[in-house]
Amino acid sequence: MRGDLNTALNPIPLYKQGVEEEKSELARLSCFAGAMAVGDLIKTTLGPKGMDKILQCSMSGGPDAGKLLVTNDGATILSKIGIDNPVAKVLVDISKVQDDEVGDGTTSVVVLASELLRETENLLAQKIHPQTVIAGWRKATDEALRVLEGIAKNNSANPEQFRKDLMNIARTTLSSKILQGKKDYFAKLCVDAVLKLHGKTDLQGIQIIKRLGNNMSDSYLEEGFLLEKRIGINMPKRLENARILIANTPMDTDKVKVFGARLKKKKMKDKVNKILQHNCNVFINRQLIYDYPEQLFAEKGVMAIEHADFEGVERLAQVLGGDIVSTFDTPDKVRLGKCDLIEEIIIGEDKLIKFSGVSQGQACTIILRGATQQILDEAERSIHDALCVLSQTVREPRICYGGGAAEMMMATAVSQLAEKTPGKESVAIESFARALRQLPTIIADNAGYDSAELVANLRAAHTAGKSTYGLDMDKGVTADMVDLGIVESYHLKRQVVSSAAEAAEMVLRIDNIIRAPPRQRQRDMRNH
């Protein structure tokens, strides 16, 4: 039997060196461990009393070296922490997608997915096949989404009520963020900004300018438009009834090198004259304006603003209602932008150009003030979240109730389904309901209340048919969310449930992890 011995003693290497393989139980263990670790990491930020995290970028290299970040936003936290566990990466990805798709609920989706997987650990210990669990989950997801759609309300027909809904949504979104102290103020600010977009979901029209100093409550929504640029020297600093030409054209020397500055000057002078034929008194260019043409403009008393970036130019065109022009031969065809007043204003230490009395107010600017850079950054993220949710709500105007009401509603319905379903799937369906119930539990835990008591009360209320009841985290009791005005977008909730279920299902189907060795990085010797 020498042959057999030989084979036994010389194991045949199947994989390349460094490849790791984890099979069945071990693979599942590492899946669940990863998912739960991410879930536990992030769940303390959930809800109105959730806490923030400090993220410090690594000290070595990179433009962000040593930068500090204080945030409550799930997607931001997850995108900044380096993760090695493959399943954790799946969760990071769903939170990113949630951010791109809805803008908020990035924490909820990860927490729900990780709670689903936590429940599964018990189910697998009871020897229930993962595919059976998945089959149960699918039924549960369908039921939950059906119920959610049933309770979603659409108030878009009534503008006043709809505006109130939007205010409530903004307030709910902001209540877990740093802005909660001023949430009424900021909610109004966000709603005003979004309504200015007239149903468009493109948030590029809303510019957020951050300036250090003062107090957060000094932030405001500028009805007009602010441009973070300076007016050229020797030009009027204040102009009424402006006719603005927005351009994207080179105002520097030509690319072909030619002799003689005279020629260049001639060419430039031609161009400037052509521009002046448009009968404008303000000229804004995306590219640089060199000294010479600037001087020419100044002579004619035209205000010239150089180097407004792409976004700035596009926003300006939207706000002022003008065309973006690159050739100047047909002055009669070009629409000029108009505004009543252009002036230079000073915020903090910086000078900005303010356009007020604009004709088409499809864009606007939010000015944020705050004591530290971290506060400003976090405030910007919060405002961005709120704006995203609001703009999505304008498109899909259905709403449902927050504060755990929607989750508890779904959980109750799913539990009822579990009772009706025969077979092992019933256990899986029940576990789905438990995972849904975890969300209000975590919210209560984070606020320091007796979660077991509260959630049990809430459950009883829902079973008794009070389907709008949720948790009031200011008083620590269950209360009717209609009275408190805690409202969330239906689109957001639906996306949270379906995307978390999708991710959990995907993770549960894994029974084998094959890990390639990390690519060996060659040291870059070019700089040495």
Residue with Cβ nearer another protein (87 or 471): 87
Least spacing, CB of residue 51 vs another protein, in Å? 25
Whose Cβ is closer to another protein: residue 65's or residue 516's? Answer: 516
For the CB of residue 188, give the shortest distance to another protein in the complex, in Å: 21
Q: Are strands 68-71 and 282-285 parallel, antiparallel or unpaired?
A: unpaired
In the complex, the smallest distance separating the C-beta of residue 24 from another protein, rounded to whole angstroms, is 8
329 vs 524, beta carbon nearer another protein: 329
Helix ranges (H only) for 127-260 are: 130-151, 159-174, 183-196
Nearer Cβ to another protein (373/498): 498
Q: Which is nearer to another protein, 136 or 370 (CB)?
A: 136
User: In terms of CB distance, is 343 or 511 closer to another protein?
Assistant: 511
Distance of closest approach, residue 201 Cβ to another protein, in angstroms: 7
Q: How far is the CB of 214 from another protein (least distance, A)?
A: 29
Q: How far is the CB of 286 from another protein (least distance, A)?
A: 8
Of the pair 100, 299, the CB lying nearest another protein is at 100
Select 228 or 511, whichever has its Cβ closest to another protein: 511
Pairing of strands 350-358, 303-305: unpaired
**Residue 506: CB minimum distance to another protein, A:** 6
How far apart, in whole angstroms, are the C-alpha atoms of residue 54 and residue 342?
41
Q: Is 235 helix (H, G, I), strand (E, B) or coil?
A: coil
Between CA 520 and CA 379 the distance in angstroms is 40
Q: Which of 401, 470, 467, 475 is nearest to 441 (CA)?
A: 470
Beta bridge partners of 282: 244, 303
Comparing CB distances to another protein, the nearer of 424 and 466 is: 424
Closest separation in Å from C-beta 109 to another protein: 9
Assign residue 502 a region: left if phi > 0, alpha if psi is -120 to 50, beta otherwise? alpha
Pair 401, 259: CB distance under 8 Å: no
Strand partners, 352: 345
Question: Is the distance from CB of 364 to CB of 193 less than 8 angstroms?
Answer: yes
Of residues 456 and 514, the one with the C-beta less far from another protein: 514
- In the complex, the smallest distance separating the C-beta of residue 320 from another protein, rounded to whole angstroms, is 12
Report how far residue 306's alpha carbon sits from residue 323's, in angstroms, rounded to the nearest whole number.
17
- Rounded CA separation 182/175 (Å): 9
Gap between the Cα atoms of 405 and 487, Å rounded? 10
Query: From the CB of 480, what's the least distance to another protein, in Å?
Result: 31
What are 25's two structure tokens?
């139980």
* Nearer residue to another protein within complex by CB, 2 or 526: 2
- The torsion defined by the Cα of 417, 422, 425 and 428, in degrees rounded to 10, comes to 50
Torsions phi, psi for 220 (to 5 deg): -155, 165
* DSSP, res 331: G
**DSSP string across 88-119:** HHHHHHHHHHHHHHTSS-HHHHHHHHHHHHHH
Name the minimum Å distance from CB 390 to another protein: 10
Q: What angle do CA 298, 299, 304 make, to 5 degrees?
A: 20
Per-residue tokens: 286: 């995306």
Of 106, 149, 90, 188, the residue nearest 504 (C-alpha): 90
Residues 205 and 378 sit within 8 Å (Cβ to Cβ): no
- What CA–CA distance (Å, rounded) separates 199 from 194? 8
Report residue 119 CA to chain centroid gap.
Answer: 29
Minimum Å gap between C-beta 279 and another protein is 17
Residue 462, SS3? helix
Q: Closest Cα partner for 317 from 288, 359, 352?
A: 359
Rank residues 429 and 458 by Cβ distance to another protein and give the closer one.
Answer: 429
- C-beta of 465 vs 518, nearer to another protein: 518
CA 11 to chain centre: 51
For the bound state, the minimum distance from the C-beta of residue 219 to another protein, rounded and expressed in Å, comes to 21
